[in-house]
């Protein structure tokens, strides 16, 4: 009797779930019709999304997730639907009008989903993890710091770039410049944020701020920070099951990072107790401490900015030299332009300033083209907080709106959008900075720094640091060689940001005096 009762209860529950599912389906169709929506093209799959899951898993093992997703857009359309693992419906888009809606005009229809819980162990409550009022408060706290002239502190950057130049072999030896750029940007970012650099580019005996912590030196801090980010990315991929990824290695790495940043929080709060000690160079942490004396708020927001300030700029610079090594005519024109404006290392012409950097058109075109083909954040997503729609992608011609139900995931690929031939022409996949001379004005089809209310606050900081570094390096070196000639196309490694899987191996030769 008990077995029969259990069977009946199970059958009733299954029937209830089927009825609820049918009811929800008919409800969604009714709302979609009222909004004038039509379904986008659908990627063939099974009801549980296993086919797509195994395809993406295979691509991840081959470090081809970004490229394979871009192939989906080419094969199907700029907006398509697919079945995620467990039968969850997903909309994916590389359509400028849809990104405009997602990030700006319908900003309040979407959120970050479970990102806050996924990233909380390292980043806490910060601008990259929060939605709603919490995000608004974090952005209001940080925004004034990025409107200051001190953000473009080229005197601060000068010492770090000089150290970078010292570390580059001058005799034609092959080296990986990407590794150096990641050291450069963690040094400059910590110097800007904390007032002192962790000195990752210096010898282990010159530990700077880390002599006061147990993190194990600058390399230890950089390693712990990178390890934490790798786990954040894995947690992000697991989405609702993020809590399954929480090993002791991840927890220990977070503790080491927090130890260093907490030390700087204490230093930043000290001038509030003794104002006479606060005079001197602009320090981001101290400026932020003037707005709040909550140590946790300071730590969380500084870590959020450190993550953005380090990896994205290193990614941009690495990609810049990947292309320069494979396009000698671009190197030649860019170096000639820089030397004409700023002179070379032996005969400099005036002080390099942010205003002068902005006036060098070809430098701007070059960086735009690098950001177009290899955006530091190539993939992203949002989750609908209500039943809503995207303006394009539905119907046979892709012109009708697309219905997005509450809780549905919408993924988007800036990488794929930047390579669309109907937007950038038949040579969209080719590296050609001159295209920006022909059309320097781009809207939502060019989004290397996101858009809308969440547009990157540090955009000018990143562009200024990258521009200054490029100018100094091209002043000092007059010839570059590609040391990986069989690798004509970049091999992308996508974590939270993009990097080059095998590094960027080159040779550089100093200009003769």
Query: C-alpha 290: how far from its chain's center?
Result: 28
If we measure between CA atoms, which residue out of 183, 54, 68, 55 comes closest to residue 494? 68
**SS3 at position 113:** coil
Could you count the other beta carbons within 10 Å of the beta carbon of residue 263? 17
Distance CA(407)–CA(237), nearest Å, equals 17
If we measure between CA atoms, which residue out of 76, 114, 112 comes closest to residue 94? 76
Q: Are 196 and 179 in contact (CB under 8 A)?
A: no
Distance CA(16)–CA(11), nearest Å, equals 9
* Conformation bin of residue 63: beta by default, left when phi > 0, alpha when psi is -120 to 50: left
Q: Are 166 and 159 in contact (CB under 8 A)?
A: no
CA dist list (Å): 248 to 124, 225, 232, 261, 495 = 18, 15, 14, 20, 20
Angle between helices 328-342 and 361-373 (to 10 degrees): 140
Could you count the other beta carbons within 10 Å of the beta carbon of residue 179? 15
Backbone angles phi, psi at 401, to 5 degrees: -65, 160
Binding residue per annotation — 37? no
Binding residues for heme: 456
């Amino acid at each position: 009797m008990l077995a029969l009762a259990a069977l009946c209860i199970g059958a009733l529950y299954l029937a209830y779930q089927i009825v609820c599912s049918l009811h929800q389906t008919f409800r969604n169709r009714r709302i979609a019709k009222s909004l004038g929506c039509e379904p986008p093209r659908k990627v063939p799959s099974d009801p549980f999304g296993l086919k797509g899951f195994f395809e993406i898993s295979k691509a991840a093992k081959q470090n081809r997730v970004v490229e394979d997703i871009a192939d989906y857009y080419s094969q199907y359309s700029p907006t398509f639907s697919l079945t995620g693992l467990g039968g969850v419906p997903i909309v994916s888009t590389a359509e400028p009008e849809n990104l405009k809606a997602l990030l700006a005009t319908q900003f309040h229809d979407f959120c970050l989903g479970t990102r806050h819980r996924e990233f909380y162990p390292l980043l806490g409550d910060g601008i990259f993890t929060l939605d709603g009022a919490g995000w608004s408060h974090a952005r209001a706290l940080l925004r004034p710091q990025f409107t200051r002239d001190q953000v473009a502190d080229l005197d601060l950057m000068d010492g770090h770039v000089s150290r970078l130049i010292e570390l580059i072999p001058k005799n034609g030896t092959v080296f990986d410049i990407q590794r150096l750029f990641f050291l450069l940007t963690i040094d400059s970012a910590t110097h800007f944020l904390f007032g002192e650099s962790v000195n990752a580019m210096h010898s282990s005996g010159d530990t700077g701020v880390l002599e006061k912590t147990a993190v194990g030196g600058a390399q230890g801090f950089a390693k712990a920070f990178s390890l934490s980010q790798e786990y954040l990315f894995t947690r992000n991929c697991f989405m609702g099951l993020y809590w399954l990824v929480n090993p002791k290695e991840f927890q220990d790495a977070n503790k080491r990072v927090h130890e260093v940043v907490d030390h700087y929080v204490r230093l930043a709060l000290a001038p509030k107790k003794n104002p006479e000690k606060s005079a001197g160079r602009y320090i981001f942490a101290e400026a932020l401490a003037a707005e709040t004396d909550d140590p946790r708020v300071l730590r969380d927001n500084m870590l959020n900015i450190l993550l953005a300030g380090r990896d994205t700029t290193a990614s941009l610079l690495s990609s810049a030299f990947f292309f320069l090594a494979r396009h000698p005519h671009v190197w030649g024109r860019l170096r000639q332009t820089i030397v004409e404006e700023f002179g070379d290392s032996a005969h400099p012409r005036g002080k390099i300033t942010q205003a002068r950097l902005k006036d060098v058109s070809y430098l701007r075109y070059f960086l735009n083209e690098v950001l177009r083909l290899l955006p530091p954040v190539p993939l992203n997503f949002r989750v609908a907080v209500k039943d809503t729609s995207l303006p394009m992608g539905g119907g046979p011609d892709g012109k009708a709106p697309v219905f997005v139900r509450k809780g549905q995931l919408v993924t988007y690929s800036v990488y794929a959008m930047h390579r669309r031939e109907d937007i950038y022409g038949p040579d969209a996949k080719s590296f050609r900075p001159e295209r920006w001379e022909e059309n320097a004005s781009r809207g939502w089809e060019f989004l290397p720094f996101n858009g809308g209310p969440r547009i990157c606050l540090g955009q000018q900081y990143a562009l200024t640091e990258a521009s200054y570094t490029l100018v100094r390096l091209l002043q000092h070196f007059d010839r570059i060689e590609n040391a990986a000639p069989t690798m004509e196309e970049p091999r992308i490694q996508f974590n939270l940001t993009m990097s080059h899987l095998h590094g960027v191996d080159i040779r550089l030769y100093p200009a003769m005096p």
